[in-house]
Amino acid sequence: MKTDLVQKSYEIAKERYAAIGVNIDTALEQLQKIAISIHCWQADDVVGFENLSNMGGGGIQATGNYPGRARNIAELRSDIEKVLTLIGGSHRFSLHEIYGDFGDKVVDRDQVGPEHFASWMQWAKEVGLKLDFNSTSFGHPKSGDLTLANPDKEIRDFWIEHTKRCRAVAEAMGKFQDDPCIMNLWIHDGSKDLTVNKYQYRSLLEKSLDEIFATEYKNMKDCIESKLFGIALESFTVGSHDFYLGYGAKKQKMVTLDMGHFHLSESVADKISSLLLFTPEIMLHVSRPVRWDSDHVVILNDEVTDLTKEIIRANALNKVHIGLDFFDASINRVGAYVVGIRSTQKALLQALLEPLAKLREYEANGQYFERLALLEEAKSLPWNAVWDYFCLKNDIAVGEDYITEIQQYEKDVTSKRG
């Protein structure tokens, strides 16, 4: 019965959208091809699989203690494979360096190599994912408040070597999958209170980056991620948006825009059209800040829909890469993935269904009432019927049906992890 209802609703929606010049079949074809880079760290609360002792310093905080956290690589992969059965399209998987397959060996971060991710490459190939990568500067005895911007040359060189090796890992991933691996560089460096040597720290960071990027690769792409502030580093962030925007434009590096790394009154969507003029590509970390960079699960809100609309309006799907970055340990983690991914895809679908040709015509003619009216009317068009059809065509749960599937997986799998 539900299949018939979905099909009928889709046919009605098709006629409704055609009346305003939108071909929903074309929109669905585009949505099918948009890859979202699914982050590994939601599954285990950003713990990773290192065997290093005395971990700490510059950490990332996941709040909550909902049972069922992935405790090893096998469990994390199992969770992701379940997620893949509940989402449509072809996607990517983003790994942090601390998620390497180290076995029982102690491998410090300046010793990591492609061999520690060989099993990840094979697994990704088997499940139909492409890999992305991230260096990891937090949660280590040498993290402290400063890593790549540290005046202590020994510590700074440690992190430079770590990041160089991460780029080599990303190159190996890209070559293996015959598709460029995007490697994100984010550091937490900063200061809790008033800082008088800002220029020195930023100068050191620039020199570190120059050394890291000295080697050019063909099978990976670099992106650099800014932040407004960090926990216990509230007064000064070395890698600010201004810093990385300048560095990215100067060196033609991809800049990462994390939706949680800006002041809540800033529009990340508005930055898209500007960055595209001066940097080769953009990496997005889609997240949901609540009062601060708290990385809540992505939902279908105005911030996300504004973001996706700007991408489509700029005709920039080939220049903007979409990744997720949230970690909520207070709810079912597999459920968090599915809600976040599906919400992002819904926002993309809404953007693809926008009557852009008519809107641009109105704007070019100075018909601003007409433009505003059509933008408002488009909000209530039956995009949800098109979404249900997308799910049906991908043979995944339609509507809220995925809730019971995740509940069953919790009963059969995650609840037994202790």
Is 295 part of the annotated catalytic residue set?
A: yes
Grade residue 61 by pLDDT with cuts at 50, 70 and 90.
confident
The catalytic position among 227, 309, 321, 346 is: 227
Question: Looking at 222, 293, 354, 388, which residue is catalytic?
Answer: 293
Active site residue 104: no
Is 186 part of the annotated catalytic residue set?
yes
CATH of the domain at 227: 3.20.20.150
Residue ranges making up the domain that contains 97:
35-356
Residue 294 has pLDDT above 90, yes or no: no
From 116, 221, 271, 285, active-site residue: 285
The residue to which tokens 């040709």 are assigned: 357
Quick: pLDDT tens for 359-387.
Answer: 999 999 999 999 999 999 999 999 999 99
Q: Is residue 413 part of a domain?
A: no
The question of whether 101 is a catalytic residue gets the answer no
What's the whole-number mean pLDDT along residues 272-278? 97
**Domain for residue 2, yes or no?**
no
Q: Is residue 404 part of a domain?
A: no
pLDDT single digits (tens) 308-363: 999 999 999 999 999 999 999 999 999 999 999 999 999 999 999 999 999 999 99
Domain-located, residue 206: yes
**Residue 182 forms part of a structural domain:** yes
Q: Residue 51: what pLDDT?
A: 85
Q: Is residue 296 part of a domain?
A: yes
Residue 349 lies in a domain: yes
Is position 321 annotated as part of the catalytic site?
Answer: no
Is 375 among the domain residues?
A: no
Instruction: State the total domains in the chain.
Output: 1
Q: Is 293 a catalytic residue?
A: yes
Residue 293 is predicted with a pLDDT of 83
